[in-house]
Structure 1
Amino acid sequence: MGIKNTVLKSADVIIVGAGLSGCLMAWFLKQRQPELFIQIFEQSNDLPLKRTWSFHQSDVSDNYLNIKSLISKEWQEHTVHFASYYRNLTGRYASIRPEDLSNKIKNEFAGQIFFNTEIVSVDEAAITTADGSVHKANCIIDARGPETLTTKCGYQKFLGLHLQTKTAHGLQNPIIMDATVKQTDGYRFMYVLPWSETELLIEDTYYSESSLMDNEFLRKEILNYVSSKGWQVQKILDEETGVLPIPFFQSQSNEKKLAVIGARGGFFHPVTGYSLPEAVKIADRISQLKNPSTAAARTVLNRYRNEQYWQKRYFYLLNRLLFQAAQPNERFKIFERFYSLPESLIANFYRASLSNAEKIRILSGKPPVPVTEALKCLINSGV
């Protein structure tokens, strides 16, 4: 006997998926239009917020104040370390810890988040759950997890340990890239966030052809790095991992009629894999719609996608140069050269707003990759 469909009370907005993009969308809608009836449906038994999100203030400059209360920690400066130089960068850097975002969203949307809910279909006007219930809304936002990419890609993968040190570690500002470590499995660097005088998040990070990780080995590598800095571990407080696709070309979504956000909709920085800045920009635009509808949200997304087309096409080219033109153990040279460029250019790179002159500047000068391999990537891109 089949399950009989039950149509439940309509909402103004239904958000399917409570990851980062879904949570930020709900947050912006609530702040901008508190009268809206919002429902969030999540298939797991808790918010799937399992890793720290970091960003430069300039990445979200127009919306910094809108997310300031979500920020766990921010710093006035940050550094990069390479064998040939160390550099201090003056832009403000911020992080949102998963437990902090989870607590804020649960408190803000108490009674409006439905966990352990399997979604069997999503369309423009309603979602259907595994028990046969049909939930209607004027606006359906699809924020489910990413689909399998339909294009070739590399990966940015990491394992991070949240540590408490026995004594003050002395680190004042984040090290967003310490590439002085041994270069293995592609471009490798340590990423270090000082949460307090005795707390650190340290991530062993790789730009690699493979998504596979030996977690036990990476834990040992992080502890070896800690020891090399003269820090002593009091306790391992937590652990987080991630594998971010670094695509070589634009991946096309099959869900043309839906308003799809987040990584599933292709809204992330192609080179860094970071999704928070684009999630903020998109939430900002959709939350300004009066009487939001699925069609209107989809129009906003398509307009944003068109605006970003040439920026992202350029970033896909950079990804091909990184993975297909550079030898794995030589990839660090690309980042080493990039971080020697003007701070304004670096900031524009992260917020995906490079001028044509800046795009040329990144590729000009003595090439950090073989010229013949670079030309193959350029020809392959059609530019």
Structure 2
Amino acid sequence: MSAPSTDIAILGGGLAGGLIALALAARRPDVSVTVIEAGDRCGGDHVWSYFATDVKDGADLLEPLVAARWDGYFVRFPKRSRALRTPYRSITSERLDAVMRSVLPPERLLTGAVVTQALADRVVLADGRTITAGAVIDARGAAGLPHMAGGWQKFVGQMLRLKVPHGLTHPIVMDGSVSQTDGYRFVYALPFASDAIFVEDTYYADGPEIDLPALRERIAAYAAAQDWRVEAIEYEEKGALPVIAAGDFDAFWQATATPGVAQVGARAALIHPLTSYSLPIALRLALHLCTLDSLSGEAIEKACHTWARRHWRHGRFYRMLTRMLFGAAMPDQRYKVLERFYGLSERLIERFYAGQSNQMDMLRILAGRPPVPIGAAVASLRGKGRPLAPLGDLK
């Protein structure tokens, strides 16, 4: 059974695939794009946040996706609390799905469509349909990253509807003053409305396992400690994101890539090595693809591989910091690394999250006595860390 052909087939309607589709629709309207998403809607159940300073180009593409915005944020630690002025934005999967459906013709957005085979010139679906394509971009994410090592950032988040207003004017991007369990733990709280707040319990941990009942209890305990009276849990999300300390990029690419199929997003290791943050990286790549003279499968595959390799080289400093975080500090003491970091200048912090730290930033981050034992810090740089995924785990 055949389906309509397309110039570009994008596998996965999450953040990476969605931004590419929206960028092409806006800036290359002559190109037909088909998004193939296994779920019932694009993006699943997710909240993506970013600092406004992360985005120099392409803010117009993000604007329709923004569900909430604030003119600053808070961080909390046992020995440091701080209000920062950097504007903060949040995108929801609900908004992403709505915008995708408003921009793409219905026949070009296939939801509930499971891919069984992806080749350079066609995509085969579980229902028997075959979509021929001039180019195929795989944006389906990654459960693991073979030939890479590090740790995990795992989380459970809930959108809470409250009985009375919470009184929070700005988001708490990192509350590291909470009890430390299973690695570095912090809570993330986004006030979407006066009586609605998204609370996420997050861990920098050695393993990806998520104890869902325990994290639900901790979210409830955190809300109770803030005197937030919960009326309902409107939705819940969970996940485990790789935090990269080291790896062999060429071996990784050879193990995961399909000849002729471009890889993007987490599937191409296009994440911030330490924060697992991907939004600004995904946006920059989406804008770059729009500038290509040719949007053939070969041209897009080459562009994505080149972009991912450059990102890997650029991430060397952040991978070193990841090794220090996981290898030098005991799990219940890792918060001290972030507590110290948030004492640095606001502009340095902005560049760090954008993945654009300069040489002076790097020196400043490393200057002074580290908040971990010096011997352990040196030893961590010599180690290779824990494997993030065995060879062949990524499908």
Aligned to 2:158: 161
Q: 1:302 & 1:356 partners in 2: Cα distance?
A: 26
Partner amino acid for 1:340? G
- For residues 134 and 225 of structure 1, the distance between their equivalents in structure 2, rounded to whole angstroms, comes to 49
Query: How many Å separate the matches in 2 of 1:20 and 1:338?
Result: 28
Q: State the secondary structure of the residue aligned to 1:210.
A: coil
Match of 1:129 in 2: 125
Pairing partner for 2:239 from 228, 239, 242: 242
User: What is the percentage of aligned positions where both structures have the same residue?
Assistant: 34
Does the CA contact (< 8 Å) of 2:136 and 2:262 recur in 1? yes
SS at match of 1:248: strand
TM-aligned CA distance change 1:230 to 1:133, over 3 Å? closer
State how many pairs are aligned: 376
What does the per-residue CA deviation read over 1:11-43, in whole Å, with 9 as the maximum and x for residues that have no partner?
Answer: 111111222211111111101122321111223
125 and 271 in structure 1: CA distance in 2 versus 1, 3 angstrom threshold: same
Structure 2: gaps spanning 5 or more residues: 385-395
**1:162-204 superposed Cα distances (whole Å, 9 cap, x missing partner):** 1122222111111001111111111111100000111100111
Give CA-to-partner distance per residue, 1:182-239, whole Å, 9 cap, x none. 1111111110000011110011111111222222222221122112212222222221
After TM superposition, give the deviation of residue 304 of structure 1 in Å.
2.3
CA distance in 2, matches of 1:118, 1:196: 36
d(CA) in 2 for partners of 1:162, 1:284: 31
Alignment of 1:22-171 (within 5 A): 22-109=17-104, 110-130=106-126, 133-150=129-146, 151-171=148-168
Aligned to 2:170: 173
Q: Which runs of 5+ in 1 are unaligned?
A: 1-5
TM (normalized to structure 2)? 0.90
Distance 1:216 1:342 in 2: 38
Matches within 5 A, 1:186-335: 186-250=183-247, 251=249, 252-253=252-253, 254=255, 255=257, 257-335=260-338
1:131 Cα deviation (Å)?
5.1
In the alignment, the residues of structure 2 paired with residue 291 and residue 305 of structure 1 have an alpha-carbon distance, to the nearest angstrom, of 19
Contact 1:158 1:204 survives alignment (8 Å): yes
Cα contact 1:152–1:249 (8 A) shared by 2: yes
Decide whether aligned partners of structure 1 residues 378 and 289 sit closer, same or farther in structure 2, where only a CA change above 3 A counts: same
Deviates more, 1:43-52 or 1:53-62: 43-52
Identify the range of structure 1 (42-51 vs 240-249) with the bigger mean alpha-carbon deviation.
Answer: 42-51
Q: Distance in 2 between matches of 1:299 and 1:47?
A: 26
Length-normalised TM-score, structure 1: 0.93
Distance 2:306 2:65 in 1: 27
* 2:117 and 2:125 in contact (8 A); partners too: yes
Is contact 1:20-1:49 (8 Å) kept?
no
Following superposition, the deviation at residue 323 of structure 1 comes to: 0.8
Equivalent residues of 2:174, 2:187 under 8 A apart: yes
Asked if the contact 1:152–1:248 (Cα under 8 Å) also holds between the matched residues in 2, the reply is yes
Shift of the 205–147 alpha-carbon distance from structure 1 to 2, 3 Å rule, reads: closer
**Alpha-carbon displacement from aligned partner over 1:271-313 (angstroms, at most 9, x marks no partner):** 1112211111111111222441122222322332343334312
Instruction: Give me the whole-angstrom Cα distance separating, in 1, the residues matched to 2:165 and 2:126.
Output: 51
CA distance in 2 between partners of 1:135 and 1:166 (Å): 49
What secondary structure, in the 3-state scheme, does the structure 2 residue paired with 1:62 have?
A: coil
- The root-mean-square deviation of aligned C-alpha atoms, in Å, is 1.9
Q: Compare 113-122 and 337-346 and name the one that shifted more.
A: 113-122
- Shift of the alpha carbon at 1:117? 2.9
- How far, CA to CA, are the matches of 1:241 and 1:133 in structure 2? 31
Instruction: Identify the residue that residue 3 of structure 1 maps to in structure 2.
Output: none
Cα distance in 1 for residues equivalent to 2:217 and 2:383: 40
With over 3 angstroms needed to count, the CA separation of the structure-2 counterparts of 1:198 and 1:132, relative to structure 1, is closer
Does structure 2 conserve the Cα–Cα contact (< 8 Å) formed by 1:80 and 1:88?
Answer: yes
Q: Deviations over 1:247-269 (max 9, x none)?
A: 22235123164210111111111
